[in-house]
Chains A and B, each alone.
Chain A
Amino acid sequence: MSSSTVSVSAATPTRHAFQRRIDDIKPSKTDINFVIMDYLINEGYPRAAQKFAKEANIQPLVEEESIQSRVEIRNAIHAGNIEVAIHKINDLNPQILDTDPALHFALLRLQLIELIRTCTLSPNADITPALTFASSQLAPRAPTNPEFLKDLELTMALLIFPPENLSPQLAELLKPSLRQEVANRVNEAILASLGARREARLRNLVRLRSWAENKAREAGKDLPAVLPLGLNDDKGEDEDEAMNGNGGAGDVMVS
């Protein structure tokens, strides 16, 4: 850690008026702690939530159990064990997938992708399981929605091309981000089925920050060139790269 004792609030002459407005706002720690707790519970970090309740001296909002099953489902999806995940979701509440065909299809397609991934690992592997699954589980659903059909066709293309030589669109399907995305959707659906908020407040807060900056810049408001958050930078905000004209290096939000 730098031993510099530069006071954070040392007024530099170049300080933008807007920076002063920012500094004048004192967010309530109670609110922030609440948002953190909400996030830990909503997105399924039960151990952190438990510790946080203790350390920040706040009441956990729900019992740990309900988080736990969501965590298990998430981990199963992340690990590619889609069948396990579907079972667990149905154990929790069969209505969830019944009432959301798109989500169900997304899970089944993910399962197909995992099967294809296994099949294509070795050059001479048997692709029958993947074909059987596709024709028995996905094909009957595909005609109900043009999106489903498109997704299925794209997925089947994975069988044709060698995994090391895929078009970007196809390569996308094998990336972990797809699992993450489906896992998020499942989590939201479960939360909605419990009558809870679908998304953690923190997500919308982060979007609000991004949106507000865009709008303010569009409207030609007088803002500093960048508004760094100071992540990964435990020094004073005034010495941020932004101030040194090294724009873009700061952890600014863009969209």
Chain B
Amino acid sequence: MFRRSSYASVAAGNAAGSGQSQFAAPTRPGAFSHIPNTNSTPGPQATHTSTSHSRHHSRTVDAEGHHNSMSTSWGRGGQLPSYGSQFGSLNSYGGSGQDGLSPSFFVPSYLRGSRHAEKLEEAHKAKFVAQRDFRSNHSSNAGSLSTSSSSVNLHKMIPSHRGLTHDIIERAPVFVEEPVAPWPTRWSDTDKYTMLEVLEDGREAKFTTGAQKTHDEAASVRANYHMPRQCGIYYYEVTVASKGKEGMIGIGFSGPKVPLSRIPGWEPESYAYHGDDGQSFSNTTSGKPYGPKFGTADVIGCGINFRTGTAFFTKNGVYLGPAFKDLKTDRPWYPTVGMKKAGETLKANFGQEPFVFDIDQMVQAEKMSILSDISRTKVQSISNKDKTPQDETALIHDLVAQYLTHDGYVDTARAFSEEIMEESRSLANGGDSSFMYMNADEDLDAINRQKIRAAILDGDIDRALKHTTAYYPSVLRDNENIYFKLRCRKFIEMIRHCSELNAQCHPPTPPSKRSTASNGHATDDFDDFEMELDEGLGTHNRTSTWGTENMEMEDELGDKEAKLADLTEETIKYGVELKSEFAGDPRREVKKALEDTFALIAYETASESPLAPLLETSGRLPVAEELNSAILVSLGKSSSAALERLCQQTEALINVLGEDGGPGAFINVRRDFLQ
């Protein structure tokens, strides 16, 4: 838990790093300065390149955070149902739907589970965590302004200090490194022709009466964001709410600079399917026969397959075939609709609702064909050892064996090696020994590392610390943050233990009321923290003394209670020690971790508190892994096993293959291959 929040704080720090000025002056003026910014530039999204989106994000994270700490009504602005009131009102800013990250965040059905959707969701969550983070910081720590700016400096320094970053296991927040392009969520309030009105939370576009200057004049509107090619396939649908008199309606997409006074398809850089004649238009006023005409109540879908560079349309759930090919996929295409006569009204579905056409199936089929392509791939690798080509099976054996040894799973490595030997022996059938390649190289280090890991996984941090200090004295000295995490983990284990004992002493009895009475201790000498400790843990003692009124199990209970009391005292002592050791540490993640850890004490039954995830034993593994890596590095070995590197390379390659909407866009390494 605290690990998560700590990277959230890293996120906040980094976000601030990229748009520092906000963080340095995080007060109202900074926050407000964005409003005119958003409203006065007409159609900012139209001119934004994808890189400017990233700035947009970090800015929003920051600004939103401040808003929330200033006044809650601002935060709620985002949930106000009506975007109808046009700019000038604060809603259009507060309705951060413009960012695609509004509280009403949605994932179109065909993108669920995709890597891009995950990234956007992560960015979305990170924003809220950052807000919460800021709020808690703000309320609990008056000096937060100065610390946050100092942490900015710290985070800016880290990347040059590779040794340090290496130890941060957490997945770096995605939006910091590469902008995550949001998908369209609504028609733009600003990137539209004046005779169009945008209604219904931006979902509806309506042609209002106005004096048309020329016969040709029409009115178009673009969506707030372009169709992200990282989706592989992007698709949206439009329902013709009313076709007006002639049904001169065009549905399609266009570049950001295409004039909006014409129906899409007629201008260069615009493509559309027209309702009055059923023709498809690309960049010119002469169309090509494409599909049926459409009118009131028809649902028209428009999609781009960025992998193949083609676009297609659907009508009432029926696929109409490819309409355009050889699309340039390296530029932003905005969903665009245009119309010509009063009363014409179109309602868009960007994925907020189920689609009429089974686009999910189409995307799935695309993905399946790629996956089967992958499973047919013949793998060969060239071994370092004897320079002979290895087949897939041999490579996998090596990868597994090396991983097990590298990460210190000594017993497993031994068992695996034996089983492989047996297999080879029966295969070799006497003589042929080409299959005898396995020999788990068991070195002393592997065994030592195994001991340390086992200790941490058992929750015995003291033993782990003892072993580490004995075998690798420099590691804890050189990796202070790991040392810190171990110390924190020990504290958590102590609380865990207390909480377990406590549960034994108090089998499900009516939840004892938390005493609010003064606890009679002389508190003068204690600092705030200790008071908290006392209040939290002290109650256990008190309730237990009251609890012994039922005498049956008194002896056993008494024993346990005595133990609990001892342990509690010990825990408090340790906590004080821990706090005094690290209190002066300026690092934001250290502060955050301390805060979270100590917050556990505030709960009478920590295991039932919202912070319970901190107590889970699954939190031991990351600590163990981090220490293991640090030891490996100190031994001059690679900190990651070959299999791990293979995962890294794969993910990086898939990212590269997906950024431009290529086949990688359809693959989610984690979901499709690791889970």
Interface string of B381-393 (1 = CB under 8 A from A): 1111101010111
B568-624 at interface with A (beta carbon < 8 Å): 617-618, 620-622
Q: Write the chain B residue with the least CB distance to A39.
A: B400
Asked if residues A74 and B650 are in contact (CB atoms below 8 Å), the reply is no
Residues of A participating in the B interface, judged by any CB pair closer than 8 Å: 1-11, 18, 21-32, 34-36, 39-40, 45-48, 50-52, 54-57, 74-75, 78-80, 176-177, 179-180, 184, 199-216, 219, 221, 223, 227, 229-237, 241, 248-255
Name the contact of B657 in the complex, choosing from A78, A204, A219 (C-beta under 8 A): A219
Name the contact of A25 in the complex, choosing from B378, B443, B652 (C-beta under 8 A): B652
Asked if residues A215 and B663 are in contact (CB atoms below 8 Å), the reply is yes
B404-450 at interface with A (beta carbon < 8 Å): 404, 406-407, 409-412, 414-416, 418-420, 422-423, 426-429, 432, 435, 443, 450
Q: Which residues of B contact A177 (CB under 8 A)?
A: 391
Interface residue B380 (Cβ < 8 Å from any Cβ of A): yes
Report how far A50 CA is from B387 CA in the complex, Å.
33
Asked if residues B399 and A209 are in contact (CB atoms below 8 Å), the reply is no
Asked if residues A209 and B642 are in contact (CB atoms below 8 Å), the reply is no
Name the contact of B392 in the complex, choosing from A1, A6, A11, A207 (C-beta under 8 A): A207
Q: Which residues of B contact A215 (CB under 8 A)?
A: 653, 657, 662-664
B355-413 at interface with A (beta carbon < 8 Å): 373-375, 377-385, 387, 389, 391-393, 395-396, 398-400, 402-404, 406-407, 409-412
Q: Given known contacts A39-B400, A75-B422, is B657 in contact with A51 (CB within 8 Å)?
A: no
Report how far A206 CA is from B403 CA in the complex, Å.
14
Report how far A22 CA is from B650 CA in the complex, Å.
9
Asked if residues A231 and B383 are in contact (CB atoms below 8 Å), the reply is yes
Report how far A183 CA is from B373 CA in the complex, Å.
24
Could you give 6 example pairs across A and B, Cβ below 8 Å?
Answer: A1-B636, A27-B651, A31-B674, A40-B416, A48-B404, A79-B429
Interface residue B70 (Cβ < 8 Å from any Cβ of A): no
Interface residue B669 (Cβ < 8 Å from any Cβ of A): yes
Asked if residues A235 and B638 are in contact (CB atoms below 8 Å), the reply is yes
Asked if residues A51 and B411 are in contact (CB atoms below 8 Å), the reply is yes
Asked if residues B416 and A232 are in contact (CB atoms below 8 Å), the reply is no
Interface residue B169 (Cβ < 8 Å from any Cβ of A): yes
Stretch from B60-68, B170-178, B241-249, B540-548 at the A interface: B170-178
Q: Which residues of B contact A248 (CB under 8 A)?
A: 382
Which interface class (under 10, 10 to 19, 20 to 34, 35 or more) fits B?
A: 35 or more
Q: Given known contacts A32-B647, A75-B426, A230-B642, is B674 in contact with A205 (CB within 8 Å)?
A: yes
Asked if residues B409 and A55 are in contact (CB atoms below 8 Å), the reply is yes
Q: Which residues of A contact B675 (CB under 8 A)?
A: 31, 34
Q: Given known contacts A205-B673, A230-B638, is B646 in contact with A212 (CB within 8 Å)?
A: no
Q: Write the chain A residue with the least CB distance to B443.
A: A1
Q: Given known contacts A11-B162, A203-B392, is B656 in contact with A221 (CB within 8 Å)?
A: yes
Interface string of B450-463 (1 = CB under 8 A from A): 10011001000000
Report how far A40 CA is from B409 CA in the complex, Å.
14
Q: Report A246 CB to chain B, min CB distance, Å.
A: 11
Q: Given known contacts A208-B374, A229-B642, A231-B399, is B427 in contact with A176 (CB within 8 Å)?
A: yes
Name the contact of B384 in the complex, choosing from A50, A237, A251, A254 (C-beta under 8 A): A251
Asked if residues A48 and B416 are in contact (CB atoms below 8 Å), the reply is yes
Asked if residues B375 and A7 are in contact (CB atoms below 8 Å), the reply is no
Interface residue B625 (Cβ < 8 Å from any Cβ of A): yes
Asked if residues B393 and A8 are in contact (CB atoms below 8 Å), the reply is no
Q: Write the chain A residue with the least CB distance to B669.
A: A208
Report how far A249 CA is from B414 CA in the complex, Å.
28
Q: Which residues of B contact A223 (CB under 8 A)?
A: 653, 656
Asked if residues B375 and A8 are in contact (CB atoms below 8 Å), the reply is no
Report how far A232 CA is from B516 CA in the complex, Å.
63
Q: Given known contacts A9-B166, A29-B622, is B379 in contact with A22 (CB within 8 Å)?
A: no
Interface residue B643 (Cβ < 8 Å from any Cβ of A): yes
Asked if residues A176 and B656 are in contact (CB atoms below 8 Å), the reply is no
Interface residue B649 (Cβ < 8 Å from any Cβ of A): yes
Interface residue B645 (Cβ < 8 Å from any Cβ of A): yes
Interface residue B239 (Cβ < 8 Å from any Cβ of A): no
Asked if residues A8 and B639 are in contact (CB atoms below 8 Å), the reply is yes
Asked if residues B621 and A211 are in contact (CB atoms below 8 Å), the reply is no
